[in-house]
Amino acid sequence: MYKSEIEYASLRAVWKFNQMLPQLPVPATEPFAFLVKQLVPFGINSRSITIETPSYNLADVSFIIELINPRIRLKITYEEIEILSDNVEEEDVLNILKIMSIVFECLEKLDPETKKGLGETKVSLHLTFFDEKVEDYLFERISDKIQQATPEAIIFVLKDDATIDKFSTRITIANSSAFENALFLELSYQTQISSVEEPMAFFESLRTHYQNVFSLLDIELVEASN
């Protein structure tokens, strides 16, 4: 196993509705009151809430809440839910799932059909290697496992995996240009059907799947030293 440390991680989770929302959970509505109350443990306050209306087109209207310091950005539009974190930490993953579940419960009060749609998740990581050079790892380990791969960058899809059998998955591996002797790893998932009964099942199933990817790639994550 190749020991590594996460230098930087970002996450983007999106749920695209099959049909537009009838309204947003804006102030002075029951869904807004529910959302505020449920998001108190995640640091919601009046300054963390923004309503953006850059044009007169409803597609451009966004209801945005910044949460957890604020490392997490929740955006609700008439067409989708988006959770974005440009500096995600390991403990944030469970919080993001809790926040997403709260949002779905909130939007059900506006339209029970919000659970019908398409899900997308993308996780990007920069992993610093301790004992090996990234160039050697890409050439010796990845090229051996995946045919027609190059040491500079590799994009592939895993097979014979229960999670990937359900969700379209793309994995990108490259030499990180942001950190010295570091690997860039990006995992992208997408639902393959136009209607999912429980969208949280999609997001929760990916919570631990990345560990399977690390195992396949012979990478062991080590906690960062203080």
Q: Are residues 40 and 62 in the same domain?
A: yes
Q: Are residues 165 and 206 in the same domain?
A: yes
- pTM comes to 0.82
Q: Are residues 25 and 120 in the same domain?
A: no
Other Cβ atoms within 10 Å of 166 Cβ, number: 16
Domain boundary among 59, 93, 113: 113
Q: Are residues 127 and 218 in the same domain?
A: yes
Is residue 108 within 8 A of residue 188, CB to CB? The reply is no
Domain that holds residue 93: 19-113
| Residue-wise pLDDT tens digits, 75-130 | 999 999 999 998 888 889 899 999 999 999 999 999 999 989 999 999 999 999 98
Give φ, ψ of 20 to 5 degrees: -65, 150
Exposed, middle or buried: residue 159 (CB in 10 Å: 0-12, 13-18, 19+)? Answer: exposed
Is residue 183 within 8 A of residue 175, CB to CB? The reply is yes
Residues 6+ apart with CB under 8 A from 66: 48, 50, 72, 73, 74
Residue 134: band (very low, low, confident or very high) from pLDDT cuts 50, 70, 90: confident
Is 226's pLDDT higher than 80? Answer: no
Domain boundary among 72, 88, 113: 113
Residue 2: band (very low, low, confident or very high) from pLDDT cuts 50, 70, 90: confident
pLDDT score recorded for residue 224: 66
Residue written as tokens 């995640």? 42
In this structure, is the dihedral angle defined by the CA atoms of residues 96, 97, 98 and 102, taken in order, positive or negative? positive
Exposed, middle or buried: residue 158 (CB in 10 Å: 0-12, 13-18, 19+)? Answer: middle
pLDDT score recorded for residue 104: 96
pLDDT score recorded for residue 152: 64
Is residue 200 within 8 A of residue 104, CB to CB? The reply is yes
Domain count, the chain: 2
Q: Are residues 23 and 62 in the same domain?
A: yes
Domain boundary among 92, 113, 134: 113
CA–CA separation, 17 and 52 (whole Å) = 20
Q: Are residues 13 and 120 in the same domain?
A: yes
